[in-house]
């Protein structure tokens, strides 16, 4: 790879950019102006390389990957792009020479929070790996004006504030108005015959313009550049000047406002009709614009769509982009004149589906009436896909109960997961356990009928970002032990660290690196949130979306128990223990919000109890996001991965913790299973029911009260919820939920979890044993790199070559 800048040439470029774009010079520029100048300078380099990449892709007629995801949680881009371009040290030096502190500047950049959590972060990691592996690829999503909300904790409760990331973030975007696409909603269909073909025209529809804003993505150690295409929504109708002139300003801009609502906010709550309608509009908007864009570019190169599947593969990230299947059919039939069979053959060989969840509420189902009204032509096509699929199912199984489960349209609903399975060339889960559950449970009948479609690709993380970039101390140790920077492109080189498991000097150095990272994070937490953390304490961390199946509440129950033990015996805790939580609850998820309130109530009690001083602490980290995770992961020592077995598809936070040397307290769920495969019992703290045991317990009749009656400590802990806390808040509702339904088996796993935490705390006191376990975790984490996952997609699903 050619490195684009020296320190001096970078200084010159930044000075020129400040003058040309902001009319200022380094001595007068604000931090915001310099931040934008940095972004624009790097963007220019990547854009030039992007032109060259596109030229080579077209000339060599390479097969292209199109990765569709309603979420891309990109986080901050400046440091990442500088790192990938090989100019991060030069950028830091250039900024220093120009009178700016690079650390302060990097912290100013807002996160591009265009996602809710793991799904969007995975998409971002995969885009980095696809680029690094020289795979011609484009990511597609919506250019949300507001990303995931900023979380503020007020009186212990979550308050959502708008997250306007575009102020500085727009510097990374390249608008392409000439490549805008028209997307149609509603209207009526008119059919007529011409030239022996049935033609269908949608009349009186509402048209929204999709305008692409491209974010260029640099790979590591390569000149190859890929693109994240974010679609912005614009009205096609001009402002009604007659209304405007009469002073009816709002009515004059009605169409414009309606169109722009589509790209206003990361998809809305869909627990009411308007929310459902807007979310379905968002999904079709980005899918239709994307398919039109792909088809247009394909025709420019090949002049025909008959080879579309040979030159394109569309990967849909969960069910959100499922409408790509009927939309491709619409374009192939209505615009290219293909018959059904030809269009279906090409479509079903072009689309692959990644399932990310076994939770029934996340397998999207849309009201039939909504689809019919909003997307009349797409609805017709879905009906025909559903009819043919149902016929196929009936001929194979001859069982009405199976037909009902596998149907695409049934009971007034359109089932998007079944549509994906019917129309895709491949269906993959995201961990070994998850993929087995898909085959044996969620899609067992589809698997019986078409077993060749089903495969597994265990998730992975961008190890360059989540180890090398954010943890320079550990990166230095890895380079010393594993032979330089080879691991950055060959993550399995981390395995070389295993050879040093009995080297006392290496273990001591690892301990020192973790200590320094804890000191650094304590400083960050003090500045960012005003909390004081003791680096001598165990940093015991659970950060992820707040959902009942992830069982943050189980963590809280254990802390209450620990607190009660401390009240009985002030000497029962010899090592300070700090529990760190970070989580956002979906705005409409009332129970999740109550659990956040509970964590903060408990934290408040403990912080005001003198018996806990220097022994026990609970901290809720406000507004958990990618950039906060980058500070936290290197300092974490215990990784809480305690979901109910069989519920977490994979997890990727578990991989980031492992790679940074934290030890897992966890269930055998998701990718924890594969972590256990490489670590064994001796290098993690496993507890709880296995997936099959959890399923059996629920099937045979789970009674929470039985566990309570046999465990006085559990009963006392639960009573604390009813009694409430010093802030005057009682959690009777959560108590009743646990004793009456406990859907995620917290009480069944409570005792085993408390025991696992006790084992962990005991092991922590033996620093040599702990550091050896930590080293093994780092050494064996290479398999969880996104490069490995993307290479598996490329080899087994996409059929594209890679570096």
Alpha-carbon distance values, 515 to 511, 536, 590, 629, 787 (Å):
6, 8, 38, 17, 30
Catalytic residue from among 80, 121, 279, 356:
356
Query: What contacts 411, CB < 8 A, 6 or more positions away?
Result: none
Distance CA 520, CA 635 (A): 8
36 is an active site residue: no
H or E element, residue 566: helix 552-568
| Terminal Cα distance for the chain, rounded | 13
Residue 137: CB atoms within 10 A of its CB come to 27
**Look-up of token digits 């310099």:** 34
Alpha-carbon distance values, 274 to 147, 261, 269, 430, 747 (Å):
20, 12, 9, 32, 38
Catalytic residue from among 309, 544, 551, 772:
544
Catalytic residue from among 224, 463, 545, 593:
545
**Look-up of token digits 């309130």:** 597
- Listed residue (61, 192, 77) closest to 136, CA to CA: 61
Catalytic residue from among 227, 652, 664, 667:
652
- Listed residue (103, 127, 105, 106) closest to 115, CA to CA: 127
544 is an active site residue: yes
495 is an active site residue: no
Q: What is the DSSP string of 448-469?
A: HH-GGGEEE----B-HIIIIII
652 is an active site residue: yes
Residue 440 · residue 430 · CB < 8 Å: no
The gap from C-alpha 642 to its chain's centroid, in whole angstroms, comes to 19
Distance CA 770, CA 622 (A): 29
Q: Can you give the three-state secondary structure of 728-757, one letter per residue?
A: CCCCHHHHHHHHHCCCCCHHHHHHHHHHHH
Catalytic residue from among 43, 80, 656, 737:
656
Catalytic residue from among 550, 597, 615, 625:
550
723 is an active site residue: no
- Beta-strand pair 206-218/181-185: antiparallel
Q: 728 burial class (0-12, 13-18, 19+ CB within 10 angstroms)?
A: exposed
3-state DSSP helix/strand/coil % of the chain, to nearest 5: 55, 15, 30
356 is an active site residue: yes
- Listed residue (195, 109, 113, 227) closest to 161, CA to CA: 113
Q: What is the DSSP letter of 586?
A: -
Q: What is the DSSP letter of 610?
A: G
- Listed residue (150, 152, 138) closest to 113, CA to CA: 150
Q: Known catalytic residues?
A: 356, 544-545, 550, 652, 656
């Amino acid at each position: 790879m050619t490195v684009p800048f020296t320190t001096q040439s970078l200084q010159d470029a930044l000075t020129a950019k400040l003058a040309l774009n902001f009319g200022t010079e380094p001595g007068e520029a604000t931090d915001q102006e310099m931040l934008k100048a940095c972004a624009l300078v790097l963007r220019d380099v990547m854009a030039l390389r992007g032109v060259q990449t596109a030229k080579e892709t077209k000339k060599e007629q390479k097969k292209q990957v199109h990765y569709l995801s309603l979420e891309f949680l990109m986080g901050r881009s400046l440091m990442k792009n500088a790192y990938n371009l090989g100019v991060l040290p030069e950028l830091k030096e250039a900024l220093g020479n120009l009178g700016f502190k690079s650390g302060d500047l990097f912290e100013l950049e807002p996160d591009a929070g265009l996602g809710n959590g793991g799904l969007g972060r995975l998409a971002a990691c995969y885009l980095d790996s696809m680029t690094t592996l020289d795979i011609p690829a484009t990511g597609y999503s919506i250019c949300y004006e507001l990303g995931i909300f900023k979380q503020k904790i007020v009186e212990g409760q979550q308050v959502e504030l708008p997250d306007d990331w575009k102020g500085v973030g727009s510097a990374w975007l390249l608008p392409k108005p000439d490549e805008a696409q028209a997307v149609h909603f509603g209207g009526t269909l008119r059919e007529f015959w011409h030239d022996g073909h049935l033609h269908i025209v949608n009349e009186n529809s509402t048209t929204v313009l999709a305008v692409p804003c491209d974010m260029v993505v640099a790979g590591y150690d390569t000149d190859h550049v890929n693109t994240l295409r974010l679609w912005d929504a614009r009205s096609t109708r001009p402002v009604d000047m007659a209304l405007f002139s009469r002073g009816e300003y709002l009515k004059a801009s009605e169409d414009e406002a309606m169109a722009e609502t589509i790209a206003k906010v990361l998809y809305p709550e869909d627990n009411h009709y308007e929310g459902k309608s807007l979310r379905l509009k968002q999904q079709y908007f980005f899918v239709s614009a994307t398919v039109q864009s792909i088809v247009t570019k394909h025709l420019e190169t090949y002049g025909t769509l008959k080879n579309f599947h040979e030159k394109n593969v569309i990967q849909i990230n969960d069910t959100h982009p499922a409408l790509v299947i009927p939309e491709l059919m619409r374009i192939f039939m209505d615009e290219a004149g293909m018959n059904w069979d030809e269009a279906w053959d090409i479509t079903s060989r072009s689309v692959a589906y990644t399932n990310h969840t076994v939770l029934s509420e996340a397998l999207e189902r849309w009201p039939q009436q909504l689809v019919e009204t909003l997307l009349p032509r797409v609805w017709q096509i879905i009906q025909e896909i559903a009819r043919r699929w149902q016929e196929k199912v009936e001929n194979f199984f001859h069982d009405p109960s199976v037909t009902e489960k596998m149907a695409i349209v049934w009971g007034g609903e359109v089932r998007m997961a079944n549509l994906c399975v019917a129309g895709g060339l491949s269906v993959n889960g995201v961990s070994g356990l998850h993929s087995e559950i898909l085959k044996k449970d969620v899609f067992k009948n589809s698997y019986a009928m078409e077993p060749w479609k089903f495969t597994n690709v265990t998730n992975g993380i961008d190890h360059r970002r989540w180890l090398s970039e954010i943890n320079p101390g550990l990166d230095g140790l890895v380079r010393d032990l594993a032979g330089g920077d080879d691991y950055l492109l060959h993550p399995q080189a981390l395995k070389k660290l295993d050879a040093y498991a009995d080297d006392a000097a290496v273990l001591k150095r690892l301990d020192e690196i973790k200590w320094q990272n804890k000191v650094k994070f304590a400083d960050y937490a003090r500045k960012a949130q005003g909390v004081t953390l003791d680096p001598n304490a165990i940093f015991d961390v659970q950060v992820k979306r707040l959902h009942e199946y992830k069982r943050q509440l189980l963590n809280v129950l254990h802390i209450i128990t620990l607190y009660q033990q401390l009240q009985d015996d002030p000497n029962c805790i010899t090592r300070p223990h700090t529990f760190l939580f970070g989580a956002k609850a979906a705005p409409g998820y009332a129970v999740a919000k109550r659990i956040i309130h509970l964590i903060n109530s408990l934290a408040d009690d403990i912080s005001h109890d003198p018996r806990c001083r220097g022994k026990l602490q609970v901290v809720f980290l406000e507004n958990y996001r990618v950039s906060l995770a980058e500070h936290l992961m290197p300092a974490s020592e215990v990784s809480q991965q305690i979901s109910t077995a069989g519920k977490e598809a994979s997890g990727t936070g578990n991989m980031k913790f492992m790679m940074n040397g934290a030890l897992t307290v966890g269930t055998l769920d998701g990718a924890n299973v594969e972590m256990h495969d490489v670590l064994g019992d001796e290098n993690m703290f496993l507890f709880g029911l296995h997936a099959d045991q959890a399923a059996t317990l629920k099937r045979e009749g789970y009674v929470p009260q039985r566990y309570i009656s046999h465990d006085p400590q559990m009963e006392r802990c639960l009573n604390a919820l009813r009694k409430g806390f010093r802030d005057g808040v009682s959690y009777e509702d959560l108590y009743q939920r646990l004793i009456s339904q406990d859907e995620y088996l917290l009480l069944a796993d409570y005792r085993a979890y408390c025991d696992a935490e006790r084992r962990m705390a005991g092991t922590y006191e033996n620093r040599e044993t702990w550091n050896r376990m930590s080293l093994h975790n780092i050494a064996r984490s290479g398999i969880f790199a996104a490069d490995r996952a993307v290479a598996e997609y490329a080899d087994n699903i996409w059929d594209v070559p890679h570096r």
